Chains A and B, each alone.
Chain A
Amino acid sequence: MNNDNQYKKSDMHDMIEMYVLGGLNQEEQQRFEAYLQEDEQCRLAVEELREVMDTLPFAVEDVAPPKGMKNRVLSHILTPSHTEQTISDDRGTTPIVVEKSSDDQTVKPSVVYSTQEDKAWVQHKGKNRFWRVATTLVAAAAVIIGVYASNLRGEIDSLQQQLAISSTQVNSLQGKLATVSMPTQGLKVDKAVKLNPATADIVAQGLATIVIDDKGTHLLVQADNLPKLKGKEAFQVWLIKGDVKQSAGTFLTQDGTGAMYYTFQPEDYDTIAITLEPDKQGDQPRGPIVLAAEIQG
């Protein structure tokens, strides 16, 4: 028994360095830790070497953490769902004196976590994957929304351009409308002749006026007591110079009264006449003259 203990002590003391480094497997580690309880000298040796091992993490190269890691880590931890979950895990977790949660041995006794907590860690990793997938989907959605928003922005820009063009057109048209609506400036009566019945049985009378303004030369014809039109009949106005008869347009009547407006190039005409035409399609007089007057040059 004594020899066995001596052998065991020597064997265990040889394991001190491997134990503090973390190179024992689980079985060896448990055996060694059990032995530590009964060998103070060995325990003190472990404590002394452990202090050396504690410096090893400082031997690594200093690496700058990724940008934004602090926010990601702390926001993850301080999210209420994680806090509640881990508090729940905490109740079911028993601290044990082992350094490794795997099947290996340990460097030094230290409070770490039981298998339950390792499971929580695995679950947590799964959640990490979930959140990574969720984050990816959200990011993709954000990109799609961004593209969509960009397209909308483009459409809006296009519509705004069209609106600007339309506004310009509206302004232009409003300008024209304003011009049209304005009282005619510089209207000058060039000629005004009374239209007389062509025959004695016609009681109609009329007035032909030629006016000139900045838009051109206009013929205004108004007649009253005209015969009643039948069917497709229409009254037609002619400007005549010699044998050349130029149609100035047709008009219908209401209660025997009618009028028309005609713009033409200034030219010397000698006669103006209104005929009763079978329809509005003729380019030369076909019916009888109702009213007529000579135009003095």
Chain B
Amino acid sequence: MNDIAEDRELMRRISQKDAEALECVYDRYERAVYSFAYRIVQDTMAAEEVVQELFLRVWNHAERYDQSQGKLSTWMFTITRNIAVDMLRRKSSRAPVDPTKDETLRGIPDLKANTEEQVTLNWERQRIKEAMNELREDQKQVIESIYFQGLTQHEVSERYSIPLGTVKSRVRLAIRQLHKKLAGAVRGENYL
């Protein structure tokens, strides 16, 4: 049984209130969703709160996971981002994050066992990071502001005094470039 099939079976069991299945999903995605939540909220307690809410929704609404929509990780990351961005909006902490400083602050060593799966994951992660790093600074800024801070294109335009058309073009070019760089990676089945 591959990871996707396993995930679907686990979600089916969770929808039947199988706590063991919830724990399995938790163990499988805890680190990834926590890291993602932390990237957005920039606070350990808030990130934990996001993760808690995420798995509360997984537990209570597992049946809503539409298998046709693809990987469980995609579904969970979408919910994680929604929760985290909502939290940011409620707290109104809209200060832009300095990516350089951010990388330094989160330079916590990975203590996970160096399994083959982890090696593959790290390699894929490295590819995505490299693709992101190859973006221009102004492109990184719009990706950061919209994707990781939850701003709309209009809010980015206002905050950085950039014409809306410029914001749109930067996003368009950035996404196309990422698509070009990562087209191979997204076809990998054993991504997570």
Flag if B86 contacts A121 (CB, 8 Å): yes
- Which residues 59-73 of B sit at the A interface, judged by CB distance below 8 A? 59-61, 64-66, 69-71, 73
A124 in complex: contacting residue of B53, B71, B79, B121, CB < 8 Å: B53
Flag if B110 contacts A62 (CB, 8 Å): yes
A76 in complex: contacting residue of B17, B52, B82, B106, CB < 8 Å: B52
Query: Interface digits, B146-158 against A, CB 8 Å rule (1 contact, 0 not)?
Result: 1100111110100
Flag if A86 contacts B156 (CB, 8 Å): no
B153 in complex: contacting residue of A23, A58, A63, A87, CB < 8 Å: A23
User: What's the least CB distance linking B78 to chain A, in Å?
Assistant: 5
Flag if A77 contacts B55 (CB, 8 Å): yes
| Size bin of chain A's contact surface | 35 or more
A105 to chain B: which residues have CB within 8 Å?
152
Would you call the interface of chain A mostly helix, strand, loop, or mixed? helix
Flag if A18 contacts B171 (CB, 8 Å): yes
Contact A60 to B36, CB < 8 A, known contacts A22-B150, A54-B77, A77-B56: yes
Flag if B111 contacts A64 (CB, 8 Å): yes
Which residue of A55, A86, A100 has the most chain B CB atoms within 10 A of its CB atom? A55
Question: Which residue of chain A lies nearest to B58 when distances are taken between CB atoms in the complex?
Answer: A77
Flag if B179 contacts A52 (CB, 8 Å): yes
Q: Which residues of B pack against A, CB within 8 Å? A: 17, 19, 22-23, 26-27, 30-32, 34-36, 38-39, 44, 47-49, 51-53, 55-57, 59-61, 64-66, 69-71, 73-75, 77-83, 85-86, 89, 103, 106-112, 121, 124-125, 128-129, 131-132, 142-143, 146-147, 150-154, 156, 167-168, 171-172, 174-176, 178-179, 182-183, 185-186, 191-192
Q: A60-B35, A83-B60 are in contact. List 19 more A-B contacts (CB 8 A).
A: A22-B150, A23-B151, A25-B154, A49-B179, A52-B178, A55-B186, A61-B106, A62-B125, A66-B44, A69-B51, A74-B22, A74-B26, A77-B59, A78-B59, A86-B56, A86-B60, A102-B85, A104-B150, A112-B82
> Could you give 24 example pairs across A and B, Cβ below 8 Å?
A14-B172, A18-B153, A18-B172, A55-B128, A58-B32, A59-B131, A60-B38, A61-B108, A62-B110, A62-B112, A63-B34, A65-B48, A69-B30, A73-B55, A76-B56, A77-B22, A77-B56, A89-B60, A105-B152, A108-B78, A111-B64, A113-B61, A121-B53, A128-B52
Complex A-B, nearest 8 residue pairs according to Cβ-Cβ distance, in ascending order? A86-B60, A60-B39, A17-B175, A23-B146, A51-B186, A23-B153, A57-B36, A59-B128
